[in-house]
Structure 1
Amino acid sequence: MAPLLPSSQPWVEKYRPKQVKDVAHQDEVVRVLTNTLETASCPHMLFYGPPGTGKTTTALAIAHQLFGPELYKSRVLELNASDDRGINVVRTKIKSFAAVAVGSGSHQGYPCPPFKIIILDEADSMTEDAQNALRRTMETYSKVTRFFFICNYISRIIEPLASRCAKFRFKPLSEDIMSSRILHISSEEGLTLDSEQTDQAISALSLISQGDLRRAITYLQSAARLFGSSISAKDLISVSGVIPHESVEALFRACRSGNFDVANKEVNNIIEEGYPVSQMLYQLLEVIVNGDDISDEQKARICKKFGEADKCLIDGADEYLQLLDVASNTMRALCNMSEELRFD
């Protein structure tokens, strides 16, 4: 396959750090791994944290800095959640790759230690059986193979695997770190964020991406393609899929009104506009949690229902019914109605 032209290359890949020291905002992780690179000796590793914070980038950078471009393909096996990683793959593909010993000695200035690396991205989506099958493989071939597990939720990695790894937590990126990176990319690509509202545009991008730099860069590139080289906060919000603040406030006001018909009308408006209900729940939750005039008891009642609705949506429940259920229960809590009250 021909390589992507520079103009069509996703900015996420174009500006992905190539060395561990360039990974932003993960100072403790970078410091430890820099020492690891100097000694060319590393344990099994487990990288966990929110998406878009540099976990995969760091794992790939370590592998490239250890082996260089020539030996990388023969020394590193990458498996993602999109690959079949059930127990059969662990017993065949992973085991056969891990079992082969390799030579030591530097090559073209790279350390090239005497082991291979298996990178298991999104490891928390592996089945428990597959994870159990890895235990023995890790022990048997530890002299010639190192495993790098990458996941969002460390609780989904079985304890026997987690205990065999050095754990590295990746923190969500702060607005300052994200701002500096976005401004750097904007400068490199010749973009001008609205000069009168640069801070507003950066803040909007940081808010809608929720500390995920990958998502922020993707939104920036999408806005550049749609609106040209001059981008405003409104442009960034429009490409992000975030529900307009006015729609969230309208639903919140309807819940406060105590009128079920008004709330039902707003719910219908949201469904007809095609907004994702899971996104509406997230944004409505922000409004409620930050509401100074809402008691802790009311917030607790509402949040309990939000959690139930979120689980139902994940299981495939009807979006209209779940949002209506949330709206009616929020109304009961805000208007101090009894939880047993039912609308006919």
Structure 2
Amino acid sequence: MTTEPPKSPKGKSITKTSSSDADTRRELLPWVEKYRPSTLNEVTGQDNIISTVRKFITAGRLPHMLFYGPPGTGKTTTILAIARELYGEKSFRHMVLELNASDDRGIDVVRNQIKTFASTRQMFANSKHNFKLVILDEADAMTNIAQNALRRVIEKYTNNTRFCIIANYAHKINPALLSRCTRFRFSPMSPEAIRTRLDVVIAAENVKIDADAVDALVTLAKGDMRKVLNVLQPCHLATTGETGVAATVTVAMVYECVGCPVPADVRRLMTTIIEDDWTTAVRTVAKIKADRGLALADILEALATEFEGYELKPEARIALLEGLSEIEYRLSGGGNEAIQTSGAIGVVKRALDIQGGIVQE
């Protein structure tokens, strides 16, 4: 005799999601989400902020908070880890309202979703903390009217709700809203912190990567952990052949994925601009752009970075950076790449004329 699975009221079979299905879904996640720290102990690179927040949690006096700083520094990860530590996985869904303000940015969201959630108490939540948590990600995209409305909601429902506002730029947040929050600035992650987390991912995914490629990842990330993982994953997948055995990730692959000139090409650019005539320099730059699929904006940034290693007079460095920034501004306004390429070479040559010679540090 066979036993049929239980039926729902509508006559459909009820099946449970197996743990293997959950594991399969996890394996298909992008590495940024798959390896997102789930606890405060796993969050790296923001030790001072974590220690301060822990004291608030221990004392049971969590304030309204503003997390701001560059992308990829752990702002959203930190507040989600705080929420899980406060409520646990069972109560998380009932006690936390997470909104991305770049999508839900109008006053209707404040009046309806946020106000409705903040004004009610959760009676049967399995948590020792009796306040709810509202997370507003990318709040610097909210309209001024919505921010003004949110100010009043925060004041009115402080007894049973805490707010965490996340933004890349604090100056885009209403000053009256800023005054109601405790500010935490997330700095770009240090190379050591990025390496610590990167080693975990490399070991877990069995990634074969050159030491120079790891150095390149850390350098190009500029403190953005999200960028590191978003570059490493496609590089690793690109090395996996039909046999399923991955080859080694190299420096060239990393630079190609990011879209930045490799150091050898940058040195070649510097040499042709310094030593060759104008026509030869223009042709060399155009060839490198065509061969590598680069944009002039990428080359400008690489040149500015390369000149940081050179000893220049103050007036020469000012002329260089001012000229390159003007070229970048013209490009952003739709300027012709060929004309601006010639102009960029002229900027560098003029700075070298002011310098009267070049000395590498």
Question: Partner residue of 1:236?
Answer: 254
Residue type at the aligned position of 1:188:
A
Q: Rate the CA distance shift 1:133–1:236 in 2: closer, same or farther, 3 A.
A: same
Question: Partner residue of 1:14?
Answer: 34
Q: Rate the CA distance shift 1:313–1:133 in 2: closer, same or farther, 3 A.
A: farther
1:81 CA drift (Å): 4.7
1:122 CA drift (Å): 1.7
Other structure's SS at 1:120 match: strand
Pick the structure with greater CA Rg. Answer: 2
Measured in 2, the distance between the counterparts of 1:67 and 1:317 equals 53
Measured in 1, the distance between the counterparts of 2:343 and 2:43 equals 43
Q: Rate the CA distance shift 1:123–1:252 in 2: closer, same or farther, 3 A.
A: farther
Contact 2:102 2:141 (C-alpha < 8 Å) held by counterparts: no
1:35 CA drift (Å): 1.8
Alignment TM-score, normalising by the size of structure 1:
0.84
Contact 2:100 2:138 (C-alpha < 8 Å) held by counterparts: yes
Query: RMSD between aligned alpha carbons?
Result: 2.7
* Superimposed CA distance per residue, residues 217-271 of structure 1 (whole angstroms, 9 cap, x where no aligned partner): 2222212111125333333333222222233333333433474323432443355
Aligned 1:246-285 pairs, distance under 5 A? 246-257=264-275, 259-269=277-287, 271-272=289-290, 273-285=292-304
Question: Partner residue of 1:57?
Answer: 77
2:223 to 204, 207, 211: 211
2:180 to 164, 181, 185: 164
Contact 2:102 2:142 (C-alpha < 8 Å) held by counterparts: no
Q: Rate the CA distance shift 1:41–1:101 in 2: closer, same or farther, 3 A.
A: farther
Aligned residues: 328
Q: Rate the CA distance shift 1:300–1:246 in 2: closer, same or farther, 3 A.
A: same
Q: Rate the CA distance shift 1:89–1:23 in 2: closer, same or farther, 3 A.
A: same
Question: Partner residue of 1:27?
Answer: 47
Measured in 2, the distance between the counterparts of 1:57 and 1:142 equals 23
Residue type at the aligned position of 2:46:
Q
* Superimposed CA distance per residue, residues 164-198 of structure 1 (whole angstroms, 9 cap, x where no aligned partner): 1111122222222222222222112222333xxx2
Other structure's SS at 1:118 match: strand
Structure 2: runs of 5 or more not aligned: 1-16, 240-245, 356-361
* Superimposed CA distance per residue, residues 123-166 of structure 1 (whole angstroms, 9 cap, x where no aligned partner): 22223333233222222222222221112222222322222111
Measured in 2, the distance between the counterparts of 1:318 and 1:116 equals 53
Q: Is 1:67 aligned to 2:87, yes or no?
A: yes
1:47 CA drift (Å): 1.0
Contact 1:21 1:34 (C-alpha < 8 Å) held by counterparts: no
Q: Rate the CA distance shift 1:138–1:70 in 2: closer, same or farther, 3 A.
A: same
Measured in 2, the distance between the counterparts of 1:93 and 1:103 equals 16
More displaced stretch, 25-34 vs 118-127: 118-127
Question: Partner residue of 1:303?
Answer: 321
Residue type at the aligned position of 1:289:
E
Q: Is 1:148 aligned to 2:160, yes or no?
A: no
Q: Rate the CA distance shift 1:147–1:231 in 2: closer, same or farther, 3 A.
A: same
1:315 CA drift (Å): 4.7
Q: Rate the CA distance shift 1:188–1:280 in 2: closer, same or farther, 3 A.
A: same
Structure 1: runs of 5 or more not aligned: 338-344
Residue type at the aligned position of 1:153:
Y
Q: Rate the CA distance shift 1:44–1:334 in 2: closer, same or farther, 3 A.
A: same
Q: Percent identity?
A: 35
Q: Is 1:122 aligned to 2:122, yes or no?
A: no
Residue type at the aligned position of 1:135:
R
Alignment TM-score, normalising by the size of structure 2:
0.81
Contact 2:105 2:141 (C-alpha < 8 Å) held by counterparts: no
1:323 CA drift (Å): 4.1
Contact 1:120 1:150 (C-alpha < 8 Å) held by counterparts: yes
1:18 CA drift (Å): 0.7
Measured in 2, the distance between the counterparts of 1:319 and 1:39 equals 58
Q: Rate the CA distance shift 1:233–1:46 in 2: closer, same or farther, 3 A.
A: same
Q: Rate the CA distance shift 1:300–1:181 in 2: closer, same or farther, 3 A.
A: same
Other structure's SS at 1:231 match: coil
Measured in 2, the distance between the counterparts of 1:275 and 1:81 equals 34
1:102 CA drift (Å): 0.8
